[in-house]
Amino acid sequence: MRKKNDILLKSAFEEAFPDLLRFFFKDADTAFNMSRGFEFLDKELHELFPELEKQGGSRFVDMLVKVFTNDGGEKYMLIHIEIQAQNDPNFSKRMFQYFYRIYDRYNVPITALAVFTGTMPVDTSSTAFQYSYMDTSLDYKFRIYHILEHSEQQLLAMDNPFSLIVLAAQKALIADKVPQHELAEHRLTIAKALIKSKRYDNEQIRRFLFFLKTFIFIDNTEINRNFDKQIASLTGNEIAMGIIETIKMITKEETLEESKKTFVLNLLHDTDFNAEKIATLAGVSTSYVEEISKEIKE
């Protein structure tokens, strides 16, 4: 579940990227040309850091984004989402390695941001990387943010939908520690705040609500039905039905994908069929089977 949540959180960061910039940089609208859009460089990131594939992305998720400035230039933004329960003594060194590889490849201005989403406070040693040997020294600093840095009241008071993603990440930390009805109230509070902000169009609201219902998952039909009713009263039935149907459709697709994966896993465990045979039986590509087989071995 945690790995799935890591991916959901990264997707939410991408979806709300203009508001992410405004959240972390007060002069974002002056510094960046929002109208030119953004380029998310996942492929380039994996080329620069092939070791990320081996680590499986279970401890951290990274984003490398090309943004355009209002003076016509390009900047690269490294956003490192650290998802772990304990501090990593090698974190600042890893951030420096990311920086110099990106700088060496692109030779453009880079700003780095590390967003921690675990329960532990950030170790102060994680905020900079220092190196010194004889007459050579280095001091690399970068921006650190922990999702618990702002209170719920502060986040709800901000005129920025990205603050609601941060609040959702806060509530995900307590998902297995509070009763479901209490968690449902937190989820509804976030949804209401987004809708009342009138900052997102209907399609963006649909996407955010899908993120919210999946990220803060509650396995209770009655609670979820009540959530849908509340959304309907806030948005109007026609819009609400679109939201609900989108959620159901994507959830159905995810369930189908999970079933497909389970079938492939069972064939790998219980038969001596090769990848091509399993792919034919499961209706998937050979590369998909090989990827699942690789996961098992790891």
**pLDDT tens by residue, 2-20:** 555 677 788 888 888 999 9
Domain closes at, from 83, 115, 149: 149
pTM of the entire predicted model: 0.73
Domain closes at, from 149, 168, 199: 149
Indicate whether 281 belongs to any domain: yes
Q: Which pLDDT does position 242 carry in this prediction?
A: 43
| Domain identity same for 1 and 145 | yes
Indicate whether 254 belongs to any domain: yes
Indicate whether 188 belongs to any domain: no
Indicate whether 223 belongs to any domain: no
- pLDDT for 167 beyond 90: yes
How far is 151 from 26, CA to CA, in rounded Å? 19
Domain closes at, from 115, 149, 183: 149
* First-residue to last-residue Cα distance in the chain: 18
Indicate whether 279 belongs to any domain: yes
Indicate whether 210 belongs to any domain: no
Mean model confidence pLDDT for the chain? 80
| Domain identity same for 136 and 20 | yes
> Which residue from 186, 190, 161, 189 is spatially nearest to 175, judged by alpha carbons?
186
Give me the number of domains the chain comprises.
2
Indicate whether 143 belongs to any domain: yes
- pLDDT for 168 beyond 90: yes
Indicate whether 77 belongs to any domain: yes
Q: Which three-class secondary structure state does DSSP give residue 278?
A: helix
- pLDDT for 295 beyond 70: yes
Stronger pLDDT, 224 or 248, i.e. the higher one = 224
User: Can you give the residue range of the structural domain that contains 281?
Assistant: 249-297
